[in-house]
Amino acid sequence: MDRTSELLLKAVRAGVSLRTHDIEQFEDDPLEFIRVDLALSSGGSVGGAGGGMGGVGSEASTRRQAAADVLQALVGSEYRTETTEIVGTWIQTGLEEGIVVLCRRVMSLCRMPVSMVTWAQSQ
């Protein structure tokens, strides 16, 4: 793994990934999670000095901002092409995986037969 890939993987991808706590907060109250996340990403504050939602939002905002700063620096440098290719691959993979996960959840909620789930996974 070259240095750009390693930096992107360890700093950027790790910084923007959802942690278990983020997922739990989303599952508990999706609208509140999105409201807090949007407020923090736009530079606003939510819920006083604690940053809303137990003070974790400000840590997540800082982590994401640091990842965005690293990515922006790489795109603005001689590593632009390589960075764009690597991140583009991550986005494509994430979209494909997300669609499969969504299909599985919908099928399980609708109690579709296993054969339908198997068919959807093969697509």
What is the model's pLDDT at position 40? Answer: 66
How far is residue 10's CA from residue 7's CA, in Å, rounded to a whole number? Answer: 5
- pLDDT, one tens digit per residue, over 9-33 is 888 888 888 788 888 888 888 888 8
Q: What is the pTM of this model?
A: 0.59
Structure token digits, residue 83: 């960075």
Taking the CA atoms of 13, 15, 20 and 26 in sequence, report the sign of the dihedral they define.
negative
CA distance 52 to 97: 31
* Residues in Cβ contact with 117 at an 8 Å cutoff, skipping those fewer than 6 apart: 104, 107, 108
Give how far the C-alpha of residue 96 lies from the chain's centroid of Cα atoms, to the nearest Å: 14
Residues 32-71 pLDDT 10s? 888 887 776 666 555 544 444 444 456 666 888 888 889 8
Question: What residue spans define the domains of the chain?
Answer: 1-77, 80-123
Cα–Cα distances (Å) from 37 to 11, 41, 52, in that order, read 20, 6, 10
